[in-house]
Amino acid sequence: MSEIAALLTKARTWAEHAQREGWLDDTRVAAVSAVEHATPADLFVDPQRRPLVVAFFGGTGVGKSSLLNRLAGEEVARTGPERPTSREVTVYVHESVRLAELPPALPVTALAVRRHRADRFQDVLWIDAPDIDSTEEENRRCALAWLPHVDLVCYVVSPERYRDDAGWQVLRARGHKHGWLFILNRWDEGDVRQCEDWMRLLRAAGFVDPVVVPTCCYPRPTRALPSPDQFEQIERTILELVRTHSVRELKRLEVQARATELKGALDNAARCLGDADAWGQAVAAARDVWRNTAMTIGNGLEWSLQAVAGRFGIGDQGWLEKLRRAAWRPGAHESPVSGGQAEPSALGELMGPLWDDWAQSKVGAALDIIEVHLQRRGLATAPARRLLDAAAQRARAAVLRALGDGVRAALARPGPLWRRALRRITGFLMAFLPLLALLWVAYAAISGYYAAVRGQREFLGWPFAINSALVVLLAWAVPFALDRLLRPSLERAVLVSLRQGLRAGLEDVWGDLEHALDVAAEEAGEFRRALDALQAEIERAVPSRTERPSELMVRLTTGRPQAPGLRSA
């Protein structure tokens, strides 16, 4: 297997792998697979020392077989009525050339191999191909199957049909893959102006100075030729190619054509993979989409958050507040757990309905918009969407987990830090000040009793007891009142924690979605790096031109990848 054939196989394997992973569609894979693997070297046992492969192509009735018979000097190809609807392929080759087993794509059942001993054609293999413009699909298929195995195409036309470019339309896309020799046969029916006109059309098709050979291979010409028969130029041109070792240049042309076609197909496939900038822009656009989605979800769930927070606050209010809430919110006093206040064990049951089908649908709608952004940048969407859908399935669990964590934190430490610090102080004062007041009352009572026993004053009475009780009560009531004022609302604390938990949960969901996009970008990057390495191998596989091409090679080839049709001239 040649190096370019190995690269073609490697490219097809890469494309099929990318297709299985969802990065390439059928059209792009088909474009990579459609690059020809066949070469002229496939026809020979020794591809390094092979003859030049020359084939006569053209429309029906232009005299291709007559040309081959005249070159051979014998009847090697059937002509006229004997040729069975132009289905047979005739190969004329020297007896010393060892042919390989023909590739499966070639229809060997319609093949006739004619051996010869002419030394002048020892390094040339001649092919008489079926009619390229045949209305029978099998004939055209047979002719096109042989084209990839040809170095030099001898395109044969007749004066009356040289502008009838049905065959040329089939062959013109291959203008850069072969050498071209143009033969105007049946010259006895033509005119010099027709030859000049055809050359003008060929120049417009990309040939700077095409080699056009007017000749007549019919045994009985209808009239005198408009100009001398140049049949000998066909043989001279072929033998000069052999003599100047132009097979190497034709092989380079063949490899370069396949490499160019393969690179084009791979470049088209690479657009689906994108680059770092394309994926960065896609992630930035997805972030904006999710920001709007998160805002919509937050606004849509606000009433539900307040309802859940209200259930926590019912048991935290006095009886008047409970009556008011019961009157304005029917059923709000019915807690899922006993005691009128939710317990941590019931958080999952209480907050589960918060993330409903509506919220999940908003996530799905966001993914649809993100997919559109990927499509606008020409990126393959299937792998990214698969990863995004998996992340979206985890959205409910992520949000509910964040909500539960927030509520548990609010229940464990309700209110802000400064409020909790002041409540610690008031809690200490509620114990310390009454104790201090009691100590003072005890001291006053003992000292009063001692003085009364000694007759220095009267015994303490009811006024002292009442005043002492008032002092102790005030010592407790003042810090208690401050503590009640500082005591946070459980409903408010839970509502704040729910809002914060929802924001945190939505941030977690976005982090999961962003990670999915990053994974998709990394997968695309791996395929892109493998493709870049393959492109570099393809560049190295094209043989460099070691010497300047001969003037003949310049005339036989065109630099255009696809020459326009003759009708466009």
Q: What is the pLDDT of residue 347?
A: 61
Task: Using CB atoms within 10 Å of the CB of residue 542, give its burial: 0 to 12 exposed, 13 to 18 middle, 19+ buried.
Answer: middle
Residues 382-411: what's their mean pLDDT? 90
| Assigned domain for 310 exists | no
Lowest model confidence (mean pLDDT) among 40-49, 182-191, 409-418, 462-471: 409-418
The last residue of one of the domains, among 487, 515, 533, is 487
Residue 488 confidence class, pLDDT cut points 50, 70, 90:
low
| pLDDT tens per residue across span 415-427 | 667 776 887 888 8
d(CA 455, CA 452): 5
| Assigned domain for 398 exists | no
The last residue of one of the domains, among 487, 505, 524, is 487
* Domain shared by 68 and 152, yes or no: yes
Residues 113-129: what's their mean pLDDT? 91
For residue 169, what are the domain limits? 38-244+550-568
Q: Indicate if the pLDDT at residue 340 is higher than 80.
A: no
The total number of structural domains that make up the chain: 2
* Domain shared by 51 and 193, yes or no: yes
Q: What is the pLDDT of residue 124?
A: 93
Number of helices and strands (H, E) in the chain?
Answer: 19, 7
CATH of the domain at 163: 3.40.50.300
Residues 455-474: what's their mean pLDDT? 84
Residue 250 confidence class, pLDDT cut points 50, 70, 90:
confident
| Assigned domain for 123 exists | yes
| pLDDT tens per residue across span 74-99 | 888 766 544 444 567 889 999 999 99
Q: Indicate if the pLDDT at residue 280 is higher than 90.
A: yes
Q: What is the pLDDT of residue 21?
A: 94
| pLDDT tens per residue across span 506-546 | 999 999 999 999 999 999 999 999 999 999 998 888 777 65
| Assigned domain for 256 exists | no
* Domain shared by 95 and 201, yes or no: yes
* Domain shared by 113 and 189, yes or no: yes
Task: Using CB atoms within 10 Å of the CB of residue 398, give its burial: 0 to 12 exposed, 13 to 18 middle, 19+ buried.
Answer: buried
Q: Indicate if the pLDDT at residue 43 is higher than 80.
A: yes
* Domain shared by 560 and 481, yes or no: no
Look at the pTM and tell me if it is higher than 0.85: no
Task: Using CB atoms within 10 Å of the CB of residue 497, give its burial: 0 to 12 exposed, 13 to 18 middle, 19+ buried.
Answer: buried
Residue 314 confidence class, pLDDT cut points 50, 70, 90:
low
Q: What is the pLDDT of residue 323?
A: 41
| pLDDT tens per residue across span 175-226 | 677 889 999 998 988 899 999 999 998 888 888 889 999 998 876 666 788 9
The last residue of one of the domains, among 463, 487, 511, is 487
* Domain shared by 132 and 211, yes or no: yes
* Domain shared by 60 and 166, yes or no: yes
| Assigned domain for 156 exists | yes
Q: Indicate if the pLDDT at residue 332 is higher than 80.
A: no
* Domain shared by 558 and 453, yes or no: no
* Domain shared by 561 and 445, yes or no: no
What are the phi and psi torsion angles at 131 (to 5°)? -65, 125
Mean pLDDT, all residues of the chain: 82
Contacts 24+ apart (CB under 8 A), 10-16: 10/534, 10/537, 11/35, 11/262, 11/265, 11/266, 11/534, 11/538, 14/527, 14/530, 14/531, 14/534, 15/269
Lowest model confidence (mean pLDDT) among 17-26, 294-303, 468-477, 499-508: 468-477
CB atoms within 10 A of CB 478: 14
* Domain shared by 421 and 564, yes or no: no
Do the Cβ atoms of 56 and 128 come closer than 8 Å?
yes
Residue 26 confidence class, pLDDT cut points 50, 70, 90:
very high
The tokens of 350 are what? 């209480």
d(CA 411, CA 405): 10
Q: Indicate if the pLDDT at residue 338 is higher than 60.
A: no
What are the phi and psi torsion angles at 98 (to 5°)? -95, 115
Q: Indicate if the pLDDT at residue 317 is higher than 80.
A: no
Measured CA to CA in angstroms, residue 313 lies from 309, 316, 435, 501 at distances of 6, 5, 33, 18
Angle between helices 462-486 and 417-453 (to 10 degrees): 170
| Assigned domain for 66 exists | yes
Q: What is the pLDDT of residue 346?
A: 57
